[in-house]
Each structure stands twice: as C-alpha cells, then as structure tokens.
C-alpha cells in the first residue's frame, strides 16, 4: 500500500492510533531519544538519529522473568510475561529497522524467547528514510543497507518536503495505515518519480567504505592473535556505551534480585550485559579469559563481522555509527576493520 500524507496530516494519523502507545523521537536533555507521545501535536520528525535504538522496545534493559516469594515455607513463583498494549514507533531510521530482523534471529533461532516476542508481536515500526546522512559516521550502505531500506520496518515514510510518501510494507504496517484512513491521499502522477529521486540522492552522499565485506571474516580470523587489537584498544576506557547503544547488541545477564531476605521475596531479572565489562567473562574460579581491553574490542568486532556471519550469514552491524560517534575516546569500528583488513 502506498499513500501520500501531507505534513499537517501526520498529527491526524497519530491521533487515530489512540488505542496504541505511540513513541516518536523527542529532543530533550540535548539529545534525541524515543519518548511516549500523548497527542499528534507532539510529533517532531526533524530528528537526526535517536541515541537509544529501537531494540529497547523488544529487549528492554530490565525484563522481569518471574517473581518469587516464600509462603508458609514453600517457594511460590508468579509469572510476569509482558502483555503490552500495541505499540507504534515513529521516526525509526532504516539502520535501526535493519537491526530488528537480526535481533529476531537471535531470539528465535534456537530458543523462542517469549518475553521478546510478547513485545515484538505488538510492535509496529514506522520508518523514516534519511534524505541526508546525519553524521559522517553513517555507513549503512557499506554493510548492505541503504538510507531508505525497508528491511525490518512495517512502514517506510519518505519526506518529500510538504508531504510524506508512505509505504506499507508488512500486514501490521498496512493495518496502521488503514487506521489513519482519511488522513492519507492517493499517490498521484509524478510522486513515484519524486520518491525515487529523493532516494537516489540520499544514496549519493559519500559514506565510509568497508571494502569487500566478504573478505572481512577471514581478515579477522587471521588477526585473532595480532597485537593490533591491544594497540587499537589502547585508549578504550571499558565503558558500555558502544554496545548499549548498538541496535543489534543483545547480550544479557540474569540475576535474582531479592527484595526481602526474610520473606524470600524477589524477582528474577534479565538486564543488558556488555562484553566490555570486566565481569562479563569472569569465571567462577576468578580467571578471566578476556582480561584486557584489546581482547574485548576483538570480541565486539568479531561478534559483528565474523561469528554472526558464520552463524547467520549476515553482519550483525547495520552501520548506524552510534558506537563511533558516542565513543568518549574516538574508537572507530570502521577504522578498526580497515586496519584489520590491511
């Protein structure tokens, strides 16, 4: 389904989704991030990219698996499977959209994760093509994507100045558009050509090249024991910014959080974990196989460009550039891959 939506009708469409939770980018605390919007008038799609990625909607930083307590000396478990309202997210950039099928694979392949899918099945992603790259660190095209990729999105919107071209990609996406009914106009002659022109232009901006993607796994394999990793991680501070902001990083930890030791009351929770943290690989013996930051950088890069390729035949990186832009010390995954490939 393809429609035209005038800029001022966007609000109407949002208001017609009133039985859903609607999220859109908002600029608060000097940073763009997804925020819940109450009314269509709150929507602002002039964003660059959000600091947090859409993975947060399906893989929240904290997920309660179940609650436990002791009643008359007997442990009692209460399930806490999430049952969210249908959620619609506006302004999703195509790089984040492409992250979703990758996350779906991880949470579906060997084990179907009910917590992930309870949220995922209720989620509709309304993408917005990037007419201009937001940052010199965007490299979606170098990892097989594009500034108007439809992969993983339910709807793709393209800004044509006074109006949006809106394309329903999945059943969920078409449903969301049908809810907007009268807000949309039919596509007229020439609109299609204009969309193509905007898309062509968006692809013409120079992006940082990764060279031959197919050769990268072998280059990483060959350099597994290379001193390059330690050298490139020399100024790494070992924080979690790169992975927490990544649209595809999905490692987690599971802990029992005891609220009251006397009643044995508490929750089993899943929280994001991070390959850059010292306790990520800490063995119970006290031995840490990835004791230094070089081996942790190697792990992050290898997971995305070697192991994921081996296991799932695609890169676990969509070129959003967050890990580069937000790194406090300038560690740059494109530069890292360049050096490893030399």
Question: CB of 316: closest distance to another protein in angstroms?
Answer: 19
Question: CB of 253: closest distance to another protein in angstroms?
Answer: 6
Cβ proximity to another protein, 200 vs 218, nearer residue: 200
> Rounded distance, CA 181 to CA 12, Å?
10
Question: CB of 56: closest distance to another protein in angstroms?
Answer: 10
**What are the two backbone dihedrals, phi and then psi, of residue 271, each rounded to the nearest 5 degrees?**
-125, 155
| Sites of contact with another protein (CB under 8 A) | 27, 29-33, 46-48, 51-52, 61-62, 132-137, 205, 234-235, 237-241, 244-245, 253, 255-257, 261, 269, 271-274, 277-279, 282, 284-286, 288, 324-332, 334-335
Question: CB of 328: closest distance to another protein in angstroms?
Answer: 4
Which residues neighbour 70 within 8 Å (Cβ) at sequence distance 6 or greater? 76, 263, 264, 265
Question: CB of 289: closest distance to another protein in angstroms?
Answer: 13
> Rounded distance, CA 91 to CA 125, Å?
8
- Cα 6 to Cα 9, 46, 118, 158, 262: the distances in Å are 5, 15, 34, 11, 60
Which residues neighbour 48 within 8 Å (Cβ) at sequence distance 6 or greater? 32, 134, 135
Longest dimension (CA), the chain: 73
Question: CB of 20: closest distance to another protein in angstroms?
Answer: 23
Cβ proximity to another protein, 265 vs 326, nearer residue: 326
Cβ proximity to another protein, 124 vs 325, nearer residue: 325
Cβ proximity to another protein, 30 vs 342, nearer residue: 30
Question: CB of 120: closest distance to another protein in angstroms?
Answer: 21
DSSP string for 16-29: TTTTSEEEEEEEET
Cβ proximity to another protein, 272 vs 305, nearer residue: 272
Q: Give me the numbers of helices (H) and strands (E) for the chain, helices first please.
A: 13, 12
User: Which of 211, 191, 189 minimizes the C-alpha distance to 199?
Assistant: 191
Cβ proximity to another protein, 46 vs 342, nearer residue: 46
Cβ proximity to another protein, 70 vs 109, nearer residue: 70
The answer to whether the beta carbons of residues 261 and 281 sit under 8 Å apart is no
Question: CB of 203: closest distance to another protein in angstroms?
Answer: 14
**What are the two backbone dihedrals, phi and then psi, of residue 146, each rounded to the nearest 5 degrees?**
-160, 160
Residue carrying structure tokens 């997920």: 63
Cβ proximity to another protein, 263 vs 311, nearer residue: 263
Tally of CB atoms within 10 A around 23? 23
């Amino acid at each position: 389904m393809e429609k035209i939506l005038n800029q001022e009708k966007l609000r109407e469409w949002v208001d017609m989704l009133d039985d859903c939770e609607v999220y859109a980018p908002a600029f608060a605390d000097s940073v763009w991030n997804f925020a819940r919007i109450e009314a269509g008038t709150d929507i602002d799609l002039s964003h660059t990219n959000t600091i947090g990625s859409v993975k947060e909607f399906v893989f929240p930083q904290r997920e309660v698996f179940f609650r436990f307590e002791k009643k008359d000396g007997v442990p009692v478990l209460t399930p806490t499977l999430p049952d969210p309202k249908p959620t619609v997210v506006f302004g999703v950039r195509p790089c984040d959209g492409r992250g979703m099928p990758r996350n779906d694979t991880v949470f579906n392949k060997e084990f179907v994760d009910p917590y992930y899918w309870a949220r995922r099945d209720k989620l509709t992603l309304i993408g917005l093509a990037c007419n201009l790259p937001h940052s010199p660190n965007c490299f979606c095209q170098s990892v097989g994507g594009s500034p108007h990729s439809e992969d993983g999105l339910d709807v793709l919107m393209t800004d044509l100045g006074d109006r949006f071209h809106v394309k329903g990609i999945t059943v969920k996406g078409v449903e969301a558009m049908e809810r907007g009914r009268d807000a949309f106009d039919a596509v007229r002659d020439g609109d299609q050509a204009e969309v193509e022109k905007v898309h062509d232009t968006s692809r013409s901006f120079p992006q940082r090249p990764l060279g031959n993607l197919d050769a990268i796994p072998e280059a990483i394999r060959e350099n597994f024991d290379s001193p390059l990793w330690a050298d490139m991680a020399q100024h790494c501070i070992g924080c979690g910014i790169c992975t927490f902001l990544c649209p595809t990083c999905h490692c987690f930890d599971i802990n029992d959080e005891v609220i009251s030791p006397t009643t044995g009351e508490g929750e089993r929770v899943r929280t994001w974990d991070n390959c850059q943290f010292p306790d990520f690989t800490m063995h119970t013996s006290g031995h840490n196989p990835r004791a230094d930051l070089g081996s942790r950088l190697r792990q992050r890069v290898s997971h995305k460009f070697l192991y994921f390729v081996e296991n799932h035949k695609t890169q676990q990186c969509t070129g959003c550039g967050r890990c580069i832009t937000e790194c406090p010390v300038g560690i740059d995954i494109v530069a890292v891959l360049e050096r490893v490939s030399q």
